[in-house]
């Protein structure tokens, strides 16, 4: 099929122009929101909470435009015709989606219909050329011909080697086991775990001086993202999330641990002995970490833990738990009354476990049944006078009351890593959708011959490419000590997009997509968790993204 859209570089300047105009609308809406929510020069959380729908919508608008900006920068750098066409399509779709979102509530955003019309009219030639059915279908035809090749990724040589290594591992080891793990709700098998230990993945976030693979004087977020993406492509639950917990704990140790604790724990974590888990969320406190209630009471030689945690992923298999507890019962102290503990326990493969150490007390765990993300198993934990030695408080005596800050340091890379996981799941679904579109025949034609299938695949490719580039771009920023805000936007946009991409892949499969024997059904239910963990999208949008955007608005 002949491509009827403008070629390559001809698209990038008009894409940038319409993106600038649309970003201007968002900036105006943010400035209007700032006027309503600032008291004496300071943002009022109470007032901002009075505009939650506006805040949520503006966060989505900003995140989508942010992805478009990273995609545009990438297209300029790589000078590849196909990449530029994907970029043109994505920018056009992002702009029209944002304008529709703003137009739906003009008064709330303090915009006029003429403001939206001015942008759409001024850039109509570009938008019309990118959004007509023939143009999109032409991209879809190329997608089918290319297989899942989204164009140059411009990775450094070392990352290409890492990607190729773990791509092969996902194909050869993870994928053959993934369906069985998911359908039987099994723990991750040793065939995956032991091989990954040998490959050194648990040391990706640990400096070389502590036995890891990371250079001592710089972080390597990009390496972590590349590996995470490939493992998640194999299976989110059986491989893609394995690096997350050691990354969180190692960051927490490096931020707040004593030198003795670093020397003791980091070399062990680097080789996956023991495996670890994070116990922060409670039945009534998730993203609101400052409200944690689990009590730590001082006793001779240490502390007694009492209370419950939930959604402790990999809590059974783990040999050490990073547990956030309240060491000062004064509720007025809020997050300043929290401390972090390293709790050792035997590893368990079961859906339930009970630990009764010689030091007294009890720790029990029960796996929570979930529709997807199987393999890791998330547990409810119950601590009953469970003893933790004093030297297991992170930071030692000086760490008391600093648990919240240590937790935040630990979670710093979690959002962008989750974006990488989302990209991996999307890639798996995208590859299956392309393959099925060639194989499935309906009315004497492969479904990939039909315009609507090609349009679906083109749109999936454009969104996946944008998600990948915002993830890679933010990883580079974070390795320079920047990009925290963009990481939140990347997490927000990629995880929401993953639900749509996997849904479209399932839809292309028709009835077979709904069958458990088809991998796309697993991708669909796995993708659903991405917008929930590492910061639910609503909390991320309202408490992180919009707050920062409003504070920095003109």
Evaluate the omega torsion of the peptide bond into residue 274 and state whether it is cis, within 30 degrees of 0. Answer: yes
Q: How far apart are CA 23 and CA 65, in angstroms?
A: 7
Among this protein's residues, is 534 annotated catalytic? yes
Tokens of 247: 């990354």
Question: Cβ(206)–Cβ(213) under 8 Å?
Answer: yes
Closest CA to 537 of 492, 490, 500: 492
Residue 289 near residue 335 (C-beta atoms within 8 A): yes
On whether the CB atoms of residues 249 and 264 are closer than 8 A, the answer is no
CA 284 to each of CA 311, 326, 395: distance values in angstroms, whole numbers, following the listed order: 12, 15, 27
Decide the pairing of beta strands 320-326 and 276-279: parallel
| DSSP 8-state assignment for residue 533 | S
Catalytic hit among 93, 282, 504, 534: 534
The tokens for 139 are 């991209």
Which residue is it, tokens 């009970």?
A: 354
Sorted by sequence, the CB contacts under 8 Å of residue 380 that are 6+ apart come out as: 283, 308, 309, 310, 312, 365, 366, 368
Picking from 10, 7, 13, 19, the residue whose alpha carbon sits closest to that of residue 466 is: 19
DSSP state of 186: P
Report the distance separating Cα 112 and Cα 109, nearest Å. 9
Q: How far apart, in Å, are the Cα atoms of 122 and each of 6, 9, 46, 126, 538?
A: 18, 20, 39, 9, 33
Whether 521 and 515 have beta carbons less than 8 Å apart is answered as yes
**Cα–Cα distance, 374 to 181 (Å, whole number):** 7
> To which H or E segment does residue 338 belong?
strand 338-344
**3-state class percentages of the chain: helix first, strand second, coil last, to nearest 5:** 65, 15, 25
Q: Which residue has the tokens 């008064």?
A: 107
Q: Where are the alpha helices (DSSP H) in 40-189?
A: 45-49, 52-78, 81-104, 106-109, 113-122, 124-131, 133-146, 157-169, 175-184
- The SS3 of residue 516 is coil
Active site residues: 534
């Amino acid at each position: 099929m002949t491509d009827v859209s403008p070629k390559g570089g001809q698209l990038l300047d008009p894409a940038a122009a319409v993106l600038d105009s649309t970003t201007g609308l968002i900036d105006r809406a943010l400035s209007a929101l700032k006027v309503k929510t600032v008291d004496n020069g300071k943002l009022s959380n109470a007032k901002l909470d009075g505009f939650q729908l506006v805040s949520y919508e503006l966060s989505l608008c900003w995140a989508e435009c942010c992805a478009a900006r990273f995609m545009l920068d990438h297209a300029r750098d790589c000078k590849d015709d196909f990449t530029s066409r994907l970029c043109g399509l994505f920018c056009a779709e992002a702009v029209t989606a944002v304008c529709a979102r703003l137009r739906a509530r003009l008064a709330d955003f303090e915009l006029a219909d003429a403001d939206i019309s001015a942008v759409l009219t001024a850039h109509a030639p570009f938008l019309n050329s990118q959004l007509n059915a023939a143009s999109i279908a032409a991209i879809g035809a190329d997608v089918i011909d290319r297989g899942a090749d989204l164009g140059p990724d411009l990775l450094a040589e070392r990352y290409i080697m890492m990607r190729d290594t773990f791509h092969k591992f996902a194909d050869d080891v993870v994928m053959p086991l993934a369906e069985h793990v998911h359908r039987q709700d099994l723990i991750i098998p040793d065939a995956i775990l032991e091989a990954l230990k040998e490959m050194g993945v648990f040391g990706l976030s640990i400096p070389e001086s502590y036995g890891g693979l990371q250079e001592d004087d710089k972080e390597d977020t990009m390496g972590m993202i590349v590996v995470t993406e490939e493992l998640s492509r194999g299976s989110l639950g059986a491989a893609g999330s394995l690096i997350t917990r050691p990354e969180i704990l190692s960051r927490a140790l490096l931020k707040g641990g004593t030198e003795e604790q670093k020397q003791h724990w980091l070399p062990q974590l680097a080789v996956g002995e023991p495996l670890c888990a994070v116990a922060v969320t409670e039945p009534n406190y998730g993203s609101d970490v400052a409200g944690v209630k689990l009590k730590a009471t001082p006793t001779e030689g240490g502390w007694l833990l009492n209370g419950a945690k939930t959604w402790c992923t990999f809590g059974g298999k783990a040999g050490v738990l990073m547990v956030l507890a309240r060491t000062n019962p004064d509720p007025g102290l809020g997050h300043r009354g929290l401390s972090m503990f390293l709790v050792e326990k035997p590893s368990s493969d079961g859906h339930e476990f009970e630990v009764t150490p010689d030091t007294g007390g009890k720790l029990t765990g029960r796996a929570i049944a979930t529709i997807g993300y199987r393999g890791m198993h998330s547990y409810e934990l119950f601590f009953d006078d469970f003893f933790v030695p004093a030297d297991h408080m992170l930071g030692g005596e000086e760490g008391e009351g600093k648990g919240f800050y240590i937790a935040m340091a630990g979670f710093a890379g979690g959002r962008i890593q989750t974006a990488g996981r989302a990209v991996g799941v999307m890639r798996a679904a995208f590859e299956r959708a392309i393959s099925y579109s060639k194989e499935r025949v309906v009315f004497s034609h492969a479904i990939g011959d039909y315009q609507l299938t090609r349009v679906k695949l083109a749109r999936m490719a454009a969104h996946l490419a944008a998600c990948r580039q915002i993830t890679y771009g933010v990883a580079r920023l974070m390795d320079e000590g920047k990009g925290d805000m963009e990481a939140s936007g990347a997490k927000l946009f990629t995880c929401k997009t993953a639900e749509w991409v996997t849904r479209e892949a399932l839809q292309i499969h028709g009835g077979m997509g709904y069958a458990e024997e088809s991998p796309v059904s697993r991708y669909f239910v796995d993708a659903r968790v991405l917008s929930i963990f590492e910061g639910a999208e609503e909390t991320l949008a309202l408490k992180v993204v919009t707050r920062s955007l409003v504070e920095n608005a003109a």
